[in-house]
Amino acid sequence: MASGRYAVRYYSKESAMAEYLVLLHEDPATTRKLSPSQMQALIQRYSEWVGGLRADGFVGIGKKLTDDGGRHLHSEKGKMVVSDGPYAEGKDIVSGLFVVNADSYEQAQARLASGPHLEFGWIELRQIDVIPQSD
Amino acid sequence: MSSPRATDTRGLVADLFRRESGRLIALLANRAGVARIDMVEDAVQDALVSAMRNWSINAVPKNPSAWLYTAARNALTDKLRRARFEIPEEFTHEPAAEVEYSFSSESAFDDELLRLIAFCCHPSLTAASQLALTLRLACGLSVEEIAHALLTTSQSIMQRIVRAKRELRDAEVTFDIAPRELVQERLPRILNAIYLLFDAGYLSPRHPQWFRPLLCDDALRMVRMLAAHPLTAEPETHALAALLHLTAARSPARVDDEGHPVPLARQDRSRWDQAAINAGMDYFSRSIRGESLTRYHIEAAIATVHASATSMETTDWAQIVRHYDQLCESFPSPVATLNRVIALRYARRAQEALRALRASDELHAVQDTLAYHATMAELHEALEEHDLAAAAFGAAADLAESDTLAELFRRRAQALRK
């Protein structure tokens, strides 16, 4: 594993490193169709993959979200209206998120493609914007 | 270099999810009532999915079985509450410490599992439905995996399972069963389902993968549980346990380096699993008591003769032929007839064997099968009728849907034509 190289690059101040938000999307109906042994095999591959991404500093934050779909907050006539998230009937939920460090979209894409997530879900990749600091 | 998380994951017991699926369905359906079996299945699937998402990113918990139980129980409580069904007392007042203590990958829950298997093998269902339902509920296979194992479509398995569940629901079948009914009425069907399961895994000529050890292991696990359980430790259970262990003992020697099957005659017997043979012999000695003589007894007796011989030449074939005579008389079937014919050939009675093969009415049903042509080929080979043997091996190769089996027969045909 080329962890040494990455570790140096990620924390070097001169690099054009940026942070990216990675949202792990999946279709609950597809996931539910997996068999118990397929799920166990996925855990194995998934955690080896995430372990590798963490080891060299690519993944800064990695979180799993709860399965309930959360809440949606809207405003109606100036009052906040709260509804349940889309989990039960939804075709698309966000099951987890990462904040990763990369030079470019291309570099981040390449590292994300190596994992098993795309076999049953899709990934949304967004660069986190940096507000220029005036000294 | 590897992260602690990856190490944790490697700590998961092989096949844990599949086993937990069966155990949890058994346990929760026992507590919530079998009328809620669909909800129970959903809740268990929810727990497994949640574990998959969680353990993939976070660490695997110290006691994965307790984690899964708690998640499945909570999911079920939620579903019962939403449907306004009664929630079992122990679901809401179960101390976490107790769960932690009583759940591990080693704890058995044999009573619950046995009741679930007995439910799946209810006599109102066909043998095919009993097997499909057992594989789904007790063995944790998905509909696709069952279809794959039983060589049919997912749709037909799905229909079979849905129909079976509906029949059991309409008949108001529950998990409560009298010990006497369990032994007399269900046990023969349960043993038959296990036999079919082992058979599907051990050799399936029509399957792309001719040997699937996973299915065999499931069958062994279930028969061991039944042999150890006071309610089902009957002579016939021990006979089936003996047969399956003695047969499974040959596994290490029956696959060559390229994944091709090695016939009994060419197996390196030093590679047979001695522990499995010992277990099989032990089960066999416990099967010989009482009045009953099942086909498992006779087939196990044949397996003991093979297991105690050091080679094909020193095998007591006369003894094996006598066992097959008994099998064909008491439990006639095309497969038994065919196997008797093979035994005759090795008992140096090949001519007689060939006559028996041609004359038997029993065999009309199997005349166009791979086993028939392969046997025919062996007999012609033994009689040094090389052209006929080659043609029969060719016919067997054409019928094999597994590439490796087809290649094996083609090679033997070629060797004879030289």
Kindly state the average pLDDT of the residues B373-396.
89
- Determine the Cα–Cα distance for residues B273 and B252; give it in Å rounded to an integer: 7
Phi, psi for B335 (deg, rounded to 5): -65, -40
Which of B46, B56, B144 lies closest to A46 in CB terms?
B56
8 Å CB contact of A40 and B144: no
Q: Using DSSP bridges, classify how beta strands A79-84 and A18-26 pair: parallel, antiparallel or unpaired.
A: unpaired
Instruction: State how far residue A97 is from chain B, nearest Cα, in angstroms.
Output: 9
Higher pLDDT residue, B279 or B13? B279
Phi, psi for A61 (deg, rounded to 5): -120, 135
Cα→Cα distances B148→B129, B204, B212, Å: 15, 11, 11
For residue A93, the 8-state DSSP code is E
Residue B369 has pLDDT above 80, yes or no: no
Lowest mean pLDDT among A56-70, A112-126, B167-181, B204-218: B204-218
Higher pLDDT residue, B1 or A11? A11
Q: Which residues in chain B have their CB less than 8 angstroms from residue A37's CB?
A: 15, 17-18, 140, 145
Q: Burial code of B64-77, b = ≥16 C-beta within 10 A, e = fewer?
A: bbbbbbbbbbebbb
Confidence of residue B207 (pLDDT cuts 50, 70, 90): low
Residue A6 has pLDDT above 60, yes or no: no
Mean residue pLDDT across chain B: 87
- Top-ranked range on mean pLDDT: pick from A6-10, A14-18, A97-101, B346-350: A97-101
Residue with the two structure tokens 């060589």: B151
Which of A33, A37, A48 lies closest to B6 in CB terms?
A48
Tokens of B189: 């069907």
Residue B165 has pLDDT above 90, yes or no: yes
8 Å CB contact of B51 and A54: no
The pLDDT value given to residue B320 = 96
Confidence of residue B98 (pLDDT cuts 50, 70, 90): confident
Residue B141 has pLDDT above 70, yes or no: yes
Residue B181 has pLDDT above 90, yes or no: no
8 Å CB contact of A43 and B21: no
- Determine the Cα–Cα distance for residues A95 and A86; give it in Å rounded to an integer: 12
Please report the domains of chain A, with CATH numbers, ordered by start residue.
2-132 (3.30.70.1060)
> The pTM is what?
0.78
Higher pLDDT residue, A50 or B109? A50
Q: What's the pLDDT tens digit per position in A95-123?
A: 899 999 999 999 999 999 988 999 888 99
Instruction: State how far residue A95 is from chain B, nearest Cα, in angstroms.
Output: 7
User: Does the predicted interface ipTM exceed a cut of 0.95?
Assistant: no
8 Å CB contact of B12 and A40: yes
